[in-house]
Amino acid sequence: MTNKIQNPNVGADLCVCPKGFTLLELLVAILIFAVIVSAVYGTMYSGIKVWNKGDAQTRFPESSQIALNKMTKDIRNVVRFSGIKFEGEKSSISMPVIKDGICKVSYYLDSGNIMRDIQTYSESLKEQTNERELVPDIQELVFSYCNAEREWKDSWEEDSLPYAVRLSIKSKEDNVLEAITEIPIFDTEITHE
C-alpha cells in the first residue's frame, strides 16, 4: 500500500515507496542463486568427468594403434644379420631391422611406458641408446613368437627368425589391442665385415 501526499509546490501526487529490499527478500534471492549455481556446477562436473573418461578411452586406441603400426612395420623389416641377434622375451623384443642401413630396434615396457630404442649397427657395438617413449599409461606389453611347427612361445632363443610375432598392449583401463605380424623370411643372411 502506498501513501499519497500532496506536494504544494508541484501540485501532483507523489508516491512514498520504501527504498531497498528487505532482509527476507535478500535471503530468498541468495538461496535461489545458490541453488542455480549448485545445479550448474553439478552438471558441468558430471560432464567433465564423462568427457575425461571418453577422452582417455579414445586416446588409448589412437596412440596404441600408432605404436602397433610402428612395431608391425619394424617386425616386417626384420632381417637375419650376423652382427645383431633377434632376441625375444615375453615383455621385450630386440631385432635387426633395415632402416637407413641395418639397425637394432628394441621395444620394451619401462615404468608403464612403451619404449622404442633404435641403434645403428655401430651404435649397438658401443651400446649407445636412442630411446623414445611411444605410449604412456600401459599396464602390460606381451610378445609371443611362432616357430616352424606353428607353436607359440613366450620367448625366442633360436638362431633363426620366428615365423610370426604376436603382440598385445593392455592399458591401465584394461583396454587391449592385439596384432599378429608375419616375418618375411629371406634365405640369405646379411653378414658384417
- Check if the beta carbon of residue 137 is closer than 8 Å to that of residue 154: no
**Quick check: helix, strand or coil at residue 70?**
helix
* Alpha-carbon gap, residue 148 to 7, rounded angstroms: 113
| Integer Cα distance of 94 and 127 in angstroms | 13
* pLDDT for the residue 100: 79
Where exactly are the structural domains of the chain? 55-182
Contact call for residues 71 and 107 (beta carbons, < 8 A): yes
Residues in the chain: 193
The single residue listed with the C-alpha cell 594403434 is 65
How does pLDDT run across 136-175, given as a tens digit for each residue?
A: 878 899 999 998 888 999 999 888 899 999 999 888 878 8
Interatomic CA distance for residues 66 and 78, integer angstroms: 19
CB 40 within 8 A of CB 123: no
Residue 88: per-residue pLDDT: 94
pTM of the full structure: 0.64
DSSP secondary-structure letter at 147?
-
Using one digit for the tens of pLDDT, what is the confidence trace for 78-130? 988 888 899 999 999 999 998 878 889 999 998 888 999 888 877 766 676 66
Q: Which three cell numbers stand for residue 191?
A: 653378414
The sign of the torsion formed by the CA atoms of 29, 30, 33, 34 equals: negative
In the chain, beta strands by DSSP E: 3-6, 13-16, 87-88, 92-98, 102-110, 113-120, 131-135, 138-146, 152-153, 164-171, 176-182
C-beta of residue 118 within 8 angstroms of C-beta of residue 98: no
**Interval 27-48: pLDDT, tens:** 999 999 999 999 999 999 988 8
For residue 2, pLDDT over 70 is answered with no
